[in-house]
Copies of this chain bind each other. A is one copy, B any other.
Amino acid sequence: MSDADLGRMLLEAHRALAAELADEMEARGYPDVRPGHASLFIHIDRRSGTRLTELGRRASMTKQGMMLLVDDLESRGYVRRVPDPEDARAKVVRLTAHGRRAAAECRRAVLAVEARARRAIGDRRYEVLREAIDELAASREVEG
A residues in contact (CB < 8 Å) with B: 1-2, 5-21, 35, 39, 42, 60, 110, 113-114, 116-117, 120-121, 125-126, 128-137, 139-140, 143-144
Contacts and interface: CB of A to CB of B under 8 A. Distances in A.
B136 A13 contact: yes
Contact of A6 (B7, B35, B129): B129
Contacts of A143: 116
Contacts of A17: 6-7, 10, 136, 140
Contact of A20 (B13, B133, B140): B140
- For A5, A10, A21, A135, the residue with the greatest tally of chain B CB atoms inside 10 Å of its CB is A10
Nearest to A120: B139
